[in-house]
Amino acid sequence: LPSPIPWSLAQPVTPDLLVSPSSQDGDLGSECPEDRGNWTGRLDFLLSCIGYCVGLGNVWRFPYRAYTNGGGAFLVPYFIMLAICGIPIFFMELSLGQFSSLGPLAVWKISPLFKGVGMGTILIVSLVAIYYNMIIAYVLFYLFASLTSDLPWQHCGNWWNTDLCLDHHVIKAGNNTLPVNISNTVSPSEEYWRIRWNLCLCLLLSWTIVYLCILKGVKSSGKVVYFTATFPYLILMMLLIRGVTLEGAWKGIQFYLTPQFDHLLSSKVWIEAALQIFYSLGVGFGGLLTFASYNTFHQNIYRDTFIVTLGNAITSILAGFAIFSVLGYMSQELGVPVDQVAKAGPGLAFVVYPQAMTMLPLSPFWSFLFFFMLLTLGLDSQFAFMETIVTAVTDEFPYYLRPKKASFSAVICIALFLMGLILTTESGMYWLVLLDDYSAGFGLMVVVITTCLVVTRVYGKGAWPYFRACWMVLSPATMMALLVYNIVKYQPSEYGNYRFPTWAEVLGILMGVLSCLMIPMGMVVAVLQEEGTLWERVQQASRPAMDWGPSLEENRTGVYVSSLAGSQSPKPLMVHMRKYGGITSYENTAIEVDREMEEEEDDEECMI
C-alpha cells in the first residue's frame, strides 16, 4: 500500500517535548483499551466484502435497470462508470480503513474538521438498517410459507383474495386462444404480498439472527460469510440453469439484453448506470471502511478491490439471465408481453417471481431456494451495516465499550428493532418505501463527494495515477452530476397508484438533509475545540490529529513516528527508529538532542 503523507506534515517540524499521554507520573503501566481484533481467516475479509456488495439490488434492481436503459447497450456506460467512479471510491474506503484500523467516526482523525461526515454516515446506515432488516423479515415470511405442498399464493379463493384476483392456472386450463387483458386484474401473489400477519415475529427473528452472527464482531461474522457469501452462487446457478431450459426463456433473455444503442445518447442512461454502480458496491455506507479496518496492515487490497468490484458486476449480469429467463417463460404462459410482467424492487422479489414459481413443477422447492438465496444475500449486507454502527461507536469509546461489545451490539439491535416495528403495521410498506427513497439518497452522495475532496485536497494521498485522477476529478464530478440530476429530476414518492402526502415528502427530505447537516455541525464542534483566531482554528482542525496513522508501532514509519505516544521526547523516538527503522524529518533533531543529553551526562560525571 502507498503510505499517505498529509500535506500539513510534509515540511520538517521540530517537535515539542511532551509527556506521553499513556504515562502518568512516569508510570507506563496504565490500562490500555481492549484489542479491537482482526480477521481470523485468510478469506474472511474478501468474502465479507463480496457478501456485502452482492446483495438484493443485484437481483431486483440491475436486471430491470438494464432492460429499461438500452438492454445490452447499458453495459457500456455501466462498465465505464465502474472504472471512473466505482473502483476508485471502493479502493479509497478500503485504504482508509486498513491504513488507520479505525471505524467510520474515528477515521476522521485524518481531518477532525470533517468528522461530521462520519456522523452523517452513521445516521444513514442506521436508517437503512431499520428497513433493510424488514425486507429480510419479508423473506423469512415467504421462506416459511414455501414449506408446504402448495404455495399459498398459487390460487385465488383464499380469505385474503378479492374479486379482482386472476388465477393463471384457470386461464391455462381454459385453453384461451385470444390474449387475455390482465390490466384490471390482480395476481394471487400480489394479494398475498399485501397481508401482514406474523411480520412482527419475523422481524424479531431476523434481528435475532443478525445479533447472533455479529455477537463476537468480525470473528463470528467472518466465519458465517463462508456460507452466506458463497451459497447464493450455487442457488443462482441452479435457478439460471432451470430458467434457461424453460419454454419461452429466450424471449425474456432477448428482451433483457437486446442492445438499443440509441439510448446511449441519453444522459439518463449514464446517470442510471452510475446510480447502479454507486448503490450496488455499497460505497459511502462505511461498511467497506469498517471491514478493511480489521485487516492486517499489508493486506493486498489492490487485488481485493478488483476481485470484488468485477465479481459484483458479473453477478449482476448473471442474475439478470436467471430472472428474465423465468419472466420469459411466465410471459409465454400468460400470453402477454414480457414488459407487462417485468418489475423492479420488492415487486419483482415478492410478487412477480413468486407467481412465476407457481407455474413450475415442484414449485415449493424452487420457491424455497429463491427465498433462501435472498435471505443469505440480505444477511451479508445487514452484517456490514450493524458492524459499521457498532465499530464506529466502540472506536470512539474504546475503554468503556470495547470490553462490552456484545452487550452494546444487543442494545443497538433492540433499539433498531423497536424503531422498525412501525414497518410491520398496515402502513408499513409505505414507511419502507419512504425510507428506501430518502434515507440513502442525496445525503449519501454529499458524504461521498466530501470524502473524496477531503482525502485528495485537505490531506493528500499517494497512489497510482489512475486512482489520483479519479479521486481528484472524475469521481467527484460524476457524483456531483448524480446529485444535481436527482435534485432537478426530483419526483415525489409513490407506491403503486398511491402518491405520498406532503408531510411524508417533507419528512423524507429531512432524512437526507439531516445527514448533510452533520457536516457543518461537526465543523462547528471541531473549531470550538481549537484555540486562536477563527482562521487559525480552522487550519488546526483541518490538519490530521497527532495520533493519526497506523495503529501498530512497527507500521508507524516516516512522518508517523512523531504520532507515537511519547515520541515527541527524543529518547523514545530514537528507540523506535533503531527498532523498526525509517527516516523521518525529525531524525536530525532527535540525534542532536540525544548527543547533547549524552554530553551533559558526561559533564556531570566529570564534575562528580
Task: List residues forming the annotated binding site for Na(+).
Answer: 51, 54, 58, 280, 312, 377, 380-381
Neighbours of 399 (CB within 10 A): 10
Residue bearing cell 457536516 = 519
Question: Counting beta carbons within 10 angstroms of the beta carbon of residue 274, is it exposed (0 to 12), middle (13 to 18) or buried (19 or more)?
Answer: buried
Q: How far apart are CA 467 and CA 465, in angstroms?
A: 5
DSSP string, 110-163: G-GGGHHHHHHHHHHHHHHHHHHHHHHHHHHHHHHHTSSSS-TTSSS-STT--T
Those residues with Cβ within 8 angstroms of residue 99's Cβ, 6 or more apart along the chain or in another chain:
1, 3, 4, 297, 549, 550
Helix axis angle, 405-420 relative to 199-214, nearest 10°?
Answer: 160
Listed in sequence order, the residues at least 6 apart from 393 whose beta carbon sits closer than 8 Å to its beta carbon are 103, 105, 122, 401, 408
498-499/494-495 β-pairing: antiparallel
Binding residues: 51, 54, 58, 280, 312, 377, 380-381
| Amino acid residing at 504 | A
Q: Which three three-digit cell numbers place residue 599? A: 554530553
Cell (9 digits) for 37: 481484533
Grid cell, residue 471, equals 479521486
Which residues, 6+ apart, have CB-to-CB distance to 521 below 8 Å? Answer: 116, 119
34: phi then psi, degrees, rounded to nearest 5? -65, 145
Half-sphere exposure of 223 (CA within 13 A, CB side): 9
Distance CA 411, CA 49 (A): 25
Contact present, 85 and 304 (Cβ < 8 Å): no
Beta strands in 543-606 (DSSP E): none
Classify burial at 181, counting beta carbons within 10 Å of its beta carbon; exposed 0-12, middle 13-18, buried 19 or more.
Answer: exposed
Q: Cα separation of 34 and 401, whole Å?
A: 9
Contact (CB, 8 A) for 269 and 263: yes
Contact 47, 238 (CB under 8 A): no
Q: Which three three-digit cell numbers place residue 274?
A: 452510475
Phi/psi region, residue 145 (left: phi>0; alpha: psi -120 to 50; beta: rest), is alpha
DSSP-assigned states of every residue in 521-541: HHHHHHHHTS-SSHHHHHHHH
User: For residue 583, which amino acid is it?
Assistant: I
- Rounded CA separation 522/538 (Å): 12
Closest CA to 192 of 232, 148, 236: 148
Q: H or E segment at 499? A: strand 498-499
Q: Name the residue among 425, 317, 384, 365 with its Cα closest to residue 59.
A: 317
